[in-house]
Amino acid sequence: MESKNVYEVKINRNTYDVISANTAFYAFVGKRLYSGFDKLMVPTDAERLSEYIGTSRNVLLTMFTEDGEPKNFMAVFSAEDKALVDIKLIPLDEMQEWERQTRYQVNKKNNILSLYGDYFFEYDVAEDSVRVYAVDHFEQNVLSMSFAEFEHKLRKRMDDKNSKGLEALLAALHSGKDYFTINIPGDILNIRETEFTLLKGMSFYEEDQHRYSIGYVHFWNESSADSVETRRAMERDYLTGVLTKAEISNLAINTVDVKKTGNVTIAIIDIDYFKKVNDVYGHMMGDEVLKRTAAIIQNEVREDGLVGRFGGDEFLVIFYNAYDMETMRERLRSIKNGVASSFVKTQSGEDISITLSIGCAAYPKDADNYEDLFFLADFALYRAKEKGRNRYIIYNRDKHGTLEDIKNNKMSVNTLNSRGNMSPAELVCAMQDRVYTGQAYPLDELLDDVALNLNIQRVILYAGHPSRLVSMAGANRLSREVVDATKDYLAVPALSKLYDATGVVVVDNVRRFESSSPTLYEKLKKQGIISFIHVRFKDKNGTDATLSLEFVKNSMTWNRTHLPYFRLLAKLLSEYDLGRQNL
């Protein structure tokens, strides 16, 4: 029952004065606010109030409404405090309606559950009983016995194939494991002929004591592995509802390497610039983007395949009976365009446009095992990213080269951290590798990589005396006019004195300058800076330069353990001739 339907009141044990109460009780009392609790009761119950306070049982009592009408309550008294008594009052008329609504909701959900044809189990620890029942049989038990009898029944059916699963089930029930999913060969309960019995359940605790475990029993066969029932039993991603990475990976490997099912295509789908969504709009908005994208993909795939969340912003799709690549193009185009045309609104009403990059390859046309098939689909995904994102690419041997060509010539990836799963240390090492091995790495591209992969909202590089703008990357880029009018803030003494011996200054919130240095604060405010880190260094020709890492959408408590990475970035930038570059 909702708390708003429960009247809670605290009274003085001796005088019955009301000390405090919740809103529901005060609304019931109305203008009788200063009346003693006993004055609100009918005389016969008021006379027994001291007796009620001393009881530990629920009590039926009658109180007067503000209009003088009697109203019946179930009352619960708690008098642990010597001076005060806590009372909870549940109106009987509302309690009866709540019970009716509860019965309706339970019946409705049971009718839905019965459509799956599964059975359900309960282990009541206090009663030491286990029962298995089907909701479509009015919860008629198909098995009901003590836990010892249940264990004995299972052990009689134990053999080399199912012993591990049965022991895991008994241990999960006996120990009160929070959540468990156990797949056991055969019909272990002697209910229905089946190849496998899947049990999924959870345990409930009260006052740190295991009270009961509940769950469902699902029967399935290899031949029906793609049935609706089995799909429902698969492990699901908590956020999007599609399959987990482990589940979709296992299914893909089993489909290609074990069952060797022909005419299968896998597609790797990546949300373009997803880190920027999280960075600029927050993780709640990022979650909404993931859910919307997953729903669109699932709606297109339907019963013709399986969808799983493969990484933070990546999905893996298995398409069955996908022998026609023209049809595959239509499906991928539909997914890509469906997401691109589906805007996600922020709390401020701003529309966020989302695009996808997709790569796919087919079995056995392109590869004869899953590892190579995934490699080719991954290669196609990176090709889509390199060509500007917001597109799909289907691997074509004549166009892209053979598997051996791609592996031998390392044609796979040029884009830094396209997967978005590299640590700051790995990112800086990858940048160092490009700079120090003489690879083409334009300054603007390096700063773009810093902004995108290190989640910095804006990056600005200054050089010279007086300071001039060299390059800018990230969101909310400033106009030349704003930069020219404010860049001299870099020389304000209030800021200069904050640099440490390594040439670094960290400011979590510029409001610290509001009173101590109003001039500096106004210039930072005009640039929209809320938090920043500055790193001073010299370029290859000895020109003074400043790397400014900025947050402009929200304040940022900078992770001080990342400062060595930012100093290394400045070291990389010192390999460039910044005196010759100008935005």
What does the pLDDT look like over 269-310, one tens digit per residue? Answer: 999 888 878 777 888 888 889 999 999 999 888 878 899 998
Q: Of 162-166, 279-283, 529-533, where does mean pLDDT reach its minimum?
A: 279-283
Own/partner contacts of 474-481, CB < 8 Å, gap of 24 or more, are 474/448, 474/550, 475/276, 475/279, 475/280, 475/451, 475/552, 475/553, 476/528, 476/552, 476/553, 478/527, 478/528, 480/583
**pLDDT at residue 511 above 80?**
yes
Q: Of 157-161, 344-348, 490-494, where does mean pLDDT reach its minimum?
A: 344-348
Domains of the chain plus CATH, in order, are 3-96 (3.30.450.20), 115-224 (3.30.450.20), 235-409 (3.30.70.270), 424-580 (3.30.450.80)
Spatial separation of the C-alpha atoms in residues 469 and 466, rounded to whole Å:
10
Spatial separation of the C-alpha atoms in residues 332 and 337, rounded to whole Å:
8
What size, in residues, is the chain? 583
Nearest alpha carbon to residue 523 among 565, 495, 553: 495
Spatial separation of the C-alpha atoms in residues 386 and 400, rounded to whole Å:
14
* 551-572: average pLDDT: 86
What pLDDT score was predicted for residue 222?
59
Spatial separation of the C-alpha atoms in residues 535 and 505, rounded to whole Å:
7
**pLDDT at residue 135 above 80?**
no
Spatial separation of the C-alpha atoms in residues 31 and 40, rounded to whole Å:
12
Q: Which of 329-343, 357-371, 445-459, 554-568 has the highest mean pLDDT?
A: 357-371
pLDDT in tens, 349-383: 677 778 999 999 999 999 999 989 999 999 999 88
391-394 and 356-363: which strand pairing? parallel
* 531-547: average pLDDT: 95
Nearest alpha carbon to residue 445 among 576, 562, 546, 533: 576
Mean pLDDT of the chain: 84
**Confidence band, pLDDT 50/70/90 cuts, at residue 409:** low
**pLDDT at residue 252 above 70?**
yes
Query: What angle (nearest 5°) sits at the alpha carbon of residue 315, between those of residues 310 and 318?
Result: 100
What's the N-to-C CA distance of the chain in angstroms? 65
What pLDDT score was predicted for residue 566?
93
Amino acid identity for residue 118 in this structure = D
Token code pair at residue 51: 């007796």
What pLDDT score was predicted for residue 300?
87
Q: Of 63-67, 220-224, 542-546, where does mean pLDDT reach its minimum?
A: 220-224
**pLDDT at residue 42 above 50?**
yes
What pLDDT score was predicted for residue 408?
64
Q: Which has more pLDDT, 114 or 82?
A: 82
What pLDDT score was predicted for residue 112?
63
**pLDDT at residue 232 above 60?**
no
What pLDDT score was predicted for residue 406?
80
**Confidence band, pLDDT 50/70/90 cuts, at residue 139:** low
* 523-531: average pLDDT: 94
**Confidence band, pLDDT 50/70/90 cuts, at residue 554:** confident
Under DSSP, the state recorded for 560 is: G
Percent of the chain whose pLDDT exceeds 90:
36
* 132-141: average pLDDT: 62
Under DSSP, the state recorded for 537 is: E
What pLDDT score was predicted for residue 475?
65
CB-based contacts of 419: which residues, under 8 Å, 6+ apart? 270, 311, 314
Under DSSP, the state recorded for 57 is: S
* 228-256: average pLDDT: 77
What pLDDT score was predicted for residue 582?
54
**pLDDT at residue 250 above 80?**
yes
Spatial separation of the C-alpha atoms in residues 294 and 311, rounded to whole Å:
12
Q: Which of 135-144, 312-321, 441-450 has the highest mean pLDDT?
A: 312-321
**pLDDT at residue 142 above 80?**
no
140-146 and 179-185: which strand pairing? unpaired
What pLDDT score was predicted for residue 208?
75
